[in-house]
Structure 1
């Protein structure tokens, strides 16, 4: 059966293959010709000749019906996981006769969606037909495919003909971006000296107003010098000033340990965390960069998100880690000890490992991430290990 299927597929793509009705007529025609050869009856020769003529015409017409049909793909816009990916094809009839009863088959990769087919009743002469459809990708990645297939049995429906058209496609599916309202790891990471230096340069009067980004309720561990007293008196509760996260000229570098040894679900969470931290950091400053082991530093929203879409665990380290402070996303406890001063980390491991890290006198801020807990809540929670 497999050999028969391959033969039928080859015939359909290179010439034409009979449909069910075509096989019936082919069988009857063969029967008439054999009977005519046996009986020498003229009317059997006529029936056999008519059948052969009908089969020949019905095999040629579908091939001609696909000639002159050109296919163009509409632009594909990047989306995030869970969003709707809109795909479209524009079919143009460059001939002076209408094209009818066509099928269009698009074959996106399996991780992106199933093969999709569309039937077209008629494309006018010198006219166009646009087909759009929607997929909902559930896995990040950069997906490419090359061809679109046109299929027709018009006008008699006795033979199928299928032809491929080279229409390249590239669909980019970004990782999910969590809408973080706060992120203590970035808000209170090792840049306090930069904030103090900025406040000293602005002066004592402007220190209360000039570098304030927003005001929020007091959380345990917040320094009292950041209390906004007038707003606190107005609301009858302590309110804390949120300062600009970094001083001018400073850059936030999110470093993903893509060369490490990860569990697949933990690495996917780390990619989501990197995208979410990038989006959060971009709201509060202009310069945010991403570092991965194979590509190195990336700047710009499109380049960063496309890198996160295609990054994989276990990459070969090509680019050295930046010498400036970074936000280190890792599953390896030992790698956090070699980070530049002022860095902070997100660690995908169990709580015992985090306590071991704290007992070693680690002087970096960090947040322990548990795979079985909601990631957004953990990124917005207080730090697991504070600065010593």
Structure 2
């Protein structure tokens, strides 16, 4: 019964399991019949004995008939869509088909869904003719990211008198993936990088000039117009000029998942904002041709199709794989960024985008050293003090260290650091990052400060 698949219900496990399906009415009839039979035996009343036997026999006969009923019912489930953003709805369609030669009785259809997706859906289906089918649908919705199993589908059979109910279940189930909400970002030019590096289609010559050309041997199929005659005469064999080598723009997105760095929980928490921000940034850069690598504070890299990252310009399946990975990202027990520093020290060149929670002085200094191998580094630092306050400015949890001091330390290390408070749109912050290398702690996102300076940089 996976999406678009089918299955046949399992038979109940023997007559004992069928007796366990007696309803309250059936148990009451059985108990009344046995009591009447016992009283008839003690009082010597033959008429009362007949009544007692009738009362006791009726639920037992219903159990036997229902147990011997051989319904062959196939079912399928379809999710439209199977991957949805948080707070969006998905429609689930159930199809039940009678593949037997006999009609069914009244069927109660029930699908198992996690509590977070809503109440368990139940449907009553009328008599289904041989070869006939019935379709029903319901909607599911979740404000929380994650992967949620749907199913297995269950059919509840009952007799006409309501004495017994049996449940027959399918074996297959589907999975609904709730991914972070993605916010469209404006195209900006980030400061600090050599011109042209941010162009995903940029191509650079491997050589500085005509005299510095490093030729290679001729291969079958090479264009003869690329033959380098000077080198051919020198080596005594055909030599051809090398083609221009593509230079791929790359980006590393660092996501802070430390539990100690984020306050609160739920769809409006700081951690969920950071995850949604990482998803929005990654998809934005993929669309612009960047090769994106997603890294967490634990040093683990979210694997892409090739095992190391996600290449820009690929099909929509690439974005789906990245969102699926972010759908199941949870808090880590790490205390700092040592593991991420080791992972980035090997070769974190190119663009570096980070989403940080609360930073203490030691971790801010370590993050400053992470910046050294990157040509551009942009940090979105969640203001722990602002996120720890509820409506009306009421503090809900202890606030983190002052964000202004942490921003100053990151900017001194070369980061373009921006504070993030609750309710701030990532698009405004992204635009502000493109307008200035630094932004004052109290600046309004999207507006440059007094010390803003424009610099050549990468298109992102």
CA offsets 1:171-199 (integer angstroms, 9 cap, x no match):
1111111133x265xx3144343359999
2:98 pairs, out of 93, 99, 104, with 93
CA distance in 2, matches of 1:366, 1:19: 66
1:296 partnered with 2:327: no
Aligned to 1:363: 414
1:328 partnered with 2:361: no
2:40 pairs, out of 36, 40, 45, with 36
Q: Shift in Å at residue 248 of structure 1?
A: 5.0
Distance change in 2, residues 1:366/1:355 (3 Å): same
Contact residue 190 and residue 344 of structure 1 kept, 8 A: no
CA distance in 1, matches of 2:174, 2:198: 51
Matches within 5 A, 1:19-30: 19-30=23-34
CA distance in 2, matches of 1:200, 1:41: 104
CA distance in 1, matches of 2:68, 2:333: 50
Matches within 5 A, 1:119-130: 119-130=124-135
Contact residue 73 and residue 167 of structure 1 kept, 8 A: no
Q: Shift in Å at residue 267 of structure 1?
A: 1.3
Aligned to 2:261: 262
Contact residue 12 and residue 160 of structure 1 kept, 8 A: no
Distance change in 2, residues 1:82/1:171 (3 Å): same
Let me know the Cα RMSD of the aligned residues.
Answer: 3.4
Contact residue 296 and residue 320 of structure 1 kept, 8 A: no
Contact residue 72 and residue 167 of structure 1 kept, 8 A: no
Q: Shift in Å at residue 305 of structure 1?
A: 0.4
CA distance in 1, matches of 2:74, 2:110: 14
CA distance in 2, matches of 1:130, 1:196: 51
CA distance in 2, matches of 1:375, 1:66: 59
CA offsets 1:229-273 (integer angstroms, 9 cap, x no match):
xxxxxxxxxxxxxxxxxx951123322233573324211110110
Distance change in 2, residues 1:15/1:67 (3 Å): farther
Q: Which moved more, 1:88-97 or 1:270-279?
A: 88-97
Contact residue 61 and residue 155 of structure 1 kept, 8 A: no
Contact residue 76 and residue 95 of structure 2 kept, 8 A: yes
1:188 pairs, out of 187, 190, 200, with 190
Contact residue 151 and residue 161 of structure 1 kept, 8 A: yes
**TM superposition score normalised by structure 2:** 0.63
Contact residue 18 and residue 67 of structure 2 kept, 8 A: no
Give the unaligned 5+ runs of structure 1: 1-10, 203-246
Contact residue 106 and residue 117 of structure 1 kept, 8 A: yes
Q: Please give the secondary structure, in 1, of the residue aligned with 2:122.
A: strand
Aligned to 1:223: none
CA distance in 2, matches of 1:66, 1:267: 52
Distance change in 2, residues 1:157/1:348 (3 Å): same
1:172 partnered with 2:196: no
CA distance in 2, matches of 1:66, 1:270: 54
Q: Shift in Å at residue 114 of structure 1?
A: 2.5
Q: Shift in Å at residue 156 of structure 1?
A: 2.2
Matches within 5 A, 1:182-221: 182=186, 184=188, 187-194=189-196
**TM superposition score normalised by structure 1:** 0.73
Contact residue 256 and residue 291 of structure 1 kept, 8 A: yes
Contact residue 65 and residue 154 of structure 1 kept, 8 A: no
Which is richer in strand? 1
Aligned to 1:274: 278
CA offsets 1:134-179 (integer angstroms, 9 cap, x no match):
1111111112355332212233211122233222221111111113
CA distance in 1, matches of 2:65, 2:191: 71
Distance change in 2, residues 1:16/1:150 (3 Å): farther
Matches within 5 A, 1:14-163: 15-65=19-69, 67-75=71-79, 77-145=82-150, 147-163=152-168
Q: Please give the secondary structure, in 1, of the residue aligned with 2:147.
A: strand
Aligned to 1:313: 331
CA distance in 2, matches of 1:77, 1:302: 11
Give the unaligned 5+ runs of structure 2: 1-14, 206-245, 305-309, 311-317, 386-401, 439-452, 454-460
Distance change in 2, residues 1:58/1:199 (3 Å): closer
Q: Please give the secondary structure, in 1, of the residue aligned with 2:100.
A: coil
Q: Shift in Å at residue 285 of structure 1?
A: 2.5
What is the number of equivalent residue pairs in this alignment? Answer: 330
CA distance in 2, matches of 1:254, 1:146: 36
